[in-house]
Amino acid sequence: MMRPTLKVLVAYHRRSLVVRDDVYAPILAGAAVTAERSKDGKLFLEQDFLSELQYRDDAGTNVSMMNRSLNEMSVVYWAWKNYADLGDPDFFGLAHYRRFFIADESLPLPRHRWYPKSEMYLYGSESDFRAAISSKSLLDRLSDADVLCPYRYSAENLKKGASLRNCRDRFVQMMGESRGELYDEMERLVLASRPDMRDEIEYMRTNSDHYVCNMFVMPKVEFFHYCEFVFPILFRLVEMNADAEDVERTRAPGFLAEFLTSLFIAQLVREGRLRVRRMRIACWGIPAHGFLRKAGRRILPDRVRHLMKKFLGIS
């Protein structure tokens, strides 16, 4: 029996360790707006780095110009509309330049975690990191699963998470109360288009945990269903958020995409049509949660903090 084909797009918007093989396909996210200010300031991407990337999200049918609002979802849209350019794989997945699934579960886990009490682990060794995310091992995981996803994570485990009662509270904590109406509109749009997701919406109204990081692997047909669900809602949220006054709040729809992804996966789990396997996450070049804010902003001068971001990939 032939093994299924899998393509995992790895979204890059800045220089970092490039992962590329027959499965992992690095893509430049926000290629149409690389010269515009982002959460990391204005970035200059050297040609030697760009030449390592396999795709750009401004080719073919795309929404690359909306990347500052959609974050990595501009890459997902590109994959949806240009699927044949990926070789029409049986399965599609999304990873981030600093976050991948831990595919080889036989290897020891690092001592440190990104978020407290999470299944997201910080790697300091490139060889250990590459071994953990092995594409061969990732394909092996599909021998007894149809969908790969992260573990759920409760924001109550964060240092300032004790008062977070639900997912809306978590969104407001990140984006500010002025963006709370976006979360409410997201709920309304989901229930209008997918009333069968009411159970998932109700769960998020009373719990702060969800499937994190907008990461997944799923069959082609399910991936297309996911895109048909999520993008009409995201485009409406981008319209509503047009008055955002700073870079962080501009990204609010992209953060809401994570909750939409969680809703979609949670329904797959509840329905039981597909075998869903939860996966740990390997993090590269990311400090433990809250470290940079404390060390970078209170202790290190701006110039040193800038160099940490540039050369260590810390943001």
Name the one residue in this structure whose structure tokens are 């902003």: 297
Q: What is the pLDDT of residue 11?
A: 98
Distance CA 19, CA 9 (A): 10
Q: Which residues of the chain have pLDDT under 70?
A: 1, 37-44, 289-315
Rounded to 5°, angle at Cα 131 from 90 and 265: 40
Q: Is the dihedral of CA 252, 255, 257, 260 positive or negative?
A: negative
Q: What is the pLDDT of residue 37?
A: 63
CA count, 13 A, side-chain hemisphere, 218: 24
Amino acid at 299: I
Whole-Å CA distances, 137 to 134, 231, 282: 5, 31, 14
Q: In the 8-state DSSP scheme, what is residue 18?
A: -
Amino acid at 173: Q
Q: What is the pLDDT of residue 217?
A: 98
Q: What is the pLDDT of residue 42?
A: 57
Q: What is the pLDDT of residue 10?
A: 98
Name the one residue in this structure whose structure tokens are 């740990």: 280
Q: What is the pLDDT of residue 38?
A: 58
Q: In the 8-state DSSP scheme, what is residue 3?
A: P
Q: Is the dihedral of CA 48, 51, 52, 56 positive or negative?
A: positive
Q: In the 8-state DSSP scheme, what is residue 257?
A: H
Q: What is the pLDDT of residue 296?
A: 42
pTM of the model: 0.89
Q: What is the pLDDT of residue 234?
A: 98
Q: What is the pLDDT of residue 160?
A: 83
Q: Which two tokens stand for residue 126?
A: 């490139």
Q: What is the pLDDT of residue 244?
A: 81
